[in-house]
Amino acid sequence: MADVKTSDVFELLRDGSPKTRAELARSTGLARSTIAARIDTLIRLGLVAPYGDAVSTGGRPPSLLALNPTARVVVGVDLGATHARAVLTDLSGRILAEEREDLDIAEGPEKVLGWVTRTVRSLLRREKRRIADLAAIGIGLPGPVEHATGRAINPPIMPGWDRYDVPARVRRDLDVPVLIDNDVNIMALGEKHAHFPDVDDLVFIKVSTGIGAGIISGGSLQRGAMGTAGDVGHVRLRRADGVACRCGNEGCLEAVAASPALTAELRSVGEDVHSGSDVVDLVRSGNVAAIQVVRQAGRDMGEVVAMVVNFINPSVVVVGGALSAAGEHLIAGIRETVYQRSLPLATEHLRIVPSAAGERAGVIGAAAMAISHVLSPEEIERASLALQG
Amino acid sequence: MADVKTSDVFELLRDGSPKTRAELARSTGLARSTIAARIDTLIRLGLVAPYGDAVSTGGRPPSLLALNPTARVVVGVDLGATHARAVLTDLSGRILAEEREDLDIAEGPEKVLGWVTRTVRSLLRREKRRIADLAAIGIGLPGPVEHATGRAINPPIMPGWDRYDVPARVRRDLDVPVLIDNDVNIMALGEKHAHFPDVDDLVFIKVSTGIGAGIISGGSLQRGAMGTAGDVGHVRLRRADGVACRCGNEGCLEAVAASPALTAELRSVGEDVHSGSDVVDLVRSGNVAAIQVVRQAGRDMGEVVAMVVNFINPSVVVVGGALSAAGEHLIAGIRETVYQRSLPLATEHLRIVPSAAGERAGVIGAAAMAISHVLSPEEIERASLALQG
Residue B7 in this model has a pLDDT that exceeds 70: yes
Q: Is ipTM over 0.85?
A: yes
* Residue extents of the structural domains in chain B: 6-68, 73-176+362-374, 195-356
Q: pLDDT value at position B344?
A: 82
Residue of A nearest to B35 (CA): A29
A3 chain-B contacts, CB cut-off 8 A: 27
How many contacts (CB atoms, under 8 Å) link A and B? Answer: 156
Domain B73-176+362-374 in the same topology as domain B6-68: no
- Give the CATH H-level superfamily of domain B195-356: ATPase, nucleotide binding domain (3.30.420.40)
Q: pLDDT value at position B57?
A: 57
Name which of A315-329, B29-43, B328-342 the model is least confident about: B29-43
Name which of B5, B310, B349 is nearest A29 (Cβ-Cβ).
Answer: B5
Q: pLDDT value at position A63?
A: 80
Q: How far is B381 from chain A (nearest CA, A)?
A: 14
Evaluate whether A142 touches A153 at the Cβ level (below 8 Å). no
Mean pLDDT of B208-220: 95
Name which of B235, B312, B341 is nearest A222 (Cβ-Cβ).
Answer: B312
- C-beta atoms of B311 and A311 within 8 A: yes
Each residue's pLDDT tens digit, B168-192: 999 999 999 999 999 999 999 999 9
A197-356 classified as CATH 3.30.413.10: no
Name which of B29, B226, B349 is nearest A313 (Cβ-Cβ).
Answer: B226
Name which of B238, B303, B314 is nearest A225 (Cβ-Cβ).
Answer: B314
Residue of B nearest to A153 (CA): B345
- C-beta atoms of B345 and A313 within 8 A: no
- C-beta atoms of A225 and B348 within 8 A: no
- C-beta atoms of A307 and B200 within 8 A: no
Q: pLDDT value at position A353?
A: 96
Q: pLDDT value at position A155?
A: 84
Number of H helices, E strands in chain A: 14, 15
pLDDT mean across residues, chain B? 91
A2 chain-B contacts, CB cut-off 8 A: 26-29
What is the CATH code of the structural domain delimited by B73-176+362-374? 3.30.420.40
Q: How many CB atoms lie within 10 A of CB A3?
A: 12
Residue by residue, pLDDT tens for chain A (389 residues) are 334 368 878 888 887 789 988 888 887 777 788 888 888 889 988 899 888 754 555 555 568 898 889 989 999 999 998 899 999 999 999 999 999 999 999 999 999 999 999 999 999 999 999 999 999 999 999 988 988 899 998 887 899 999 999 999 999 999 999 999 999 999 999 999 999 999 999 999 999 989 999 999 999 999 999 889 999 999 989 889 999 998 888 899 999 999 999 999 999 999 999 999 999 999 999 999 999 999 999 999 999 999 999 999 999 999 999 898 888 999 999 999 999 888 888 888 999 999 999 999 999 999 999 999 999 888 888 888 888 76
The model's confidence at residue B63, banded by pLDDT at 50, 70 and 90, is confident
Residue B380 in this model has a pLDDT that exceeds 60: yes
Evaluate whether A233 touches A252 at the Cβ level (below 8 Å). yes
Name which of A34, A200, A343 is nearest B231 (Cβ-Cβ).
Answer: A343
Strand partners, B53: B63
Mean pLDDT of B263-272: 96
Name which of B3, B213, B345 is nearest A154 (Cβ-Cβ).
Answer: B345
A249 chain-B contacts, CB cut-off 8 A: 341
Residue of A nearest to B198 (CA): A225
Q: pLDDT value at position A249?
A: 85
What is the CATH code of the structural domain delimited by B6-68? 1.10.10.10
Residue B30 in this model has a pLDDT that exceeds 80: no
CA distance readout (Å), A225 to A166, A198, B202, B219: 21, 26, 9, 10
- C-beta atoms of B345 and A153 within 8 A: yes
Which of B250, B312, B348 is best to mutate for the A interface (most A CBs within 10 A)? B312
Name which of B3, B218, B236 is nearest A27 (Cβ-Cβ).
Answer: B3
Q: pLDDT value at position B215?
A: 98
Residue B119 in this model has a pLDDT that exceeds 90: yes
Which of B6, B35, B146, B313 is best to mutate for the A interface (most A CBs within 10 A)? B313
Mean pLDDT of B109-116: 97
Q: pLDDT value at position A333?
A: 95
A231 chain-B contacts, CB cut-off 8 A: 310-311, 313, 343, 346
- C-beta atoms of A217 and B224 within 8 A: yes
Q: How far is B12 from chain A (nearest CA, A)?
A: 11
Give the C-alpha separation, B97 to B88, whole Å: 5
Give the C-alpha separation, A385 to B106, whole Å: 60
Mean pLDDT of B7-21: 84
DSSP for B311-372? HH--SEEEEESGGGGGTHHHHHHHHHHHHHHS-HHHHTT-EEEE-SSGGGHHHHHHHHHHHH
Q: How far is A229 from chain B (nearest CA, A)?
A: 5
- C-beta atoms of A236 and B346 within 8 A: no
Evaluate whether B106 touches B167 at the Cβ level (below 8 Å). no
- C-beta atoms of B34 and A30 within 8 A: no
Q: pLDDT value at position B58?
A: 58
Give the C-alpha separation, B39 to B10, whole Å: 8
Name which of B30, B307, B348 is nearest A29 (Cβ-Cβ).
Answer: B30
Give the C-alpha separation, A143 to A157, whole Å: 7
What's the number of CA atoms in the CB half-sphere (13 Å) around residue B314?
31
Burial class (CB in 10 A: 0-12, 13-18, 19+), B195: middle
Q: How far is B387 from chain A (nearest CA, A)?
A: 19
Which of B7, B220, B231 is best to mutate for the A interface (most A CBs within 10 A)? B231
